[in-house]
Amino acid sequence: MADLLTHVLVPFVLLTPLRWRLDWLSKRWIVLAMAGAAIPDLVKIDLVLDNGVIQTTLGVPFSYDPISTLGGVLVIAGAIALCFGEARRRVYGYLVFGGLASLVLDGLRVFVDGQANFWLYPFVWRRPPTPSLYVSSDPRGLAVTLAVSALVFLLDRYRDTWSEKYARSGI
């Protein structure tokens, strides 16, 4: 669960400071990027619904693993974006951004053999090397993410309050 929360907070930390400079980047688009960051973690549905159940029901080999790849993010983001009418291209972009941020974070994790998962599938069939920066079960990574997110949130809140105050005073 700490891994999912970290993945969701990273697009918030990356996009919120950009929102301060870009008028067209509103909070609702940042929320969509945060939702996109959860797409690769949909693979954890395996905890609730086992691969074998789906495989038996469908009668064909089945695995959730492709969900946590670049191809999986592109397909699932596309399916979600279809629900958004005219804004679907923009929604797709933000969902993919969040998913890519999540995949990049996963690529930085510690793996025993020094190579990340096949997260670039189906575009590249090789496992890229990982710098092994963190262990996903280590609570310190979550603590750092929460601290940085809280700082960005407070700066954003202060900035909005400050902007409203000085906009009313005409300064």
Tokens of 12: 């918030």
- Find the helix packing angle between 70-81 and 88-107, rounded to 10°: 150
Task: Give yes or no for a contact between 94 and 88, defined as CB atoms under 8 angstroms apart.
Answer: no
| Ranges 43-52, 68-77, 93-102, 161-170: which has the least confidence | 161-170
For the chain, what are the domain ranges? 2-169
First to last CA, the chain: 46
pLDDT in tens, 138-157: 888 889 999 999 999 999 99
- Kindly report the three-state secondary structure assignment for every residue of the chain: CHHHHHHHHHHHHHHHHHHCCCCCCCHHHHHHHHHHCCCHHHHHHHHCCCHHHHHHHHCCCCCCHHHHCHHHHHHHHHHHHHHHHHHHHHHHHHHHHHHHHHHHHHHCECCCCCECCCCCCCCCCCCCECCCCECCCCHHHHHHHHHHHHHHHHHHHHHHHHHHHHHHHCC
Average pLDDT over residues 73-91: 95
| Ranges 34-48, 51-65, 123-137: which has the least confidence | 123-137
167 has pLDDT over 90 = no
Q: Which residue has the higher pLDDT, 2 or 87?
A: 87
pLDDT in tens, 50-78: 888 989 998 999 888 889 999 999 999 99
Distance of alpha carbon 44 from alpha carbon 46, whole angstroms: 5
Average pLDDT over residues 101-109: 91
Question: Percentage of residues in the chain with pLDDT exceeding 90?
Answer: 52
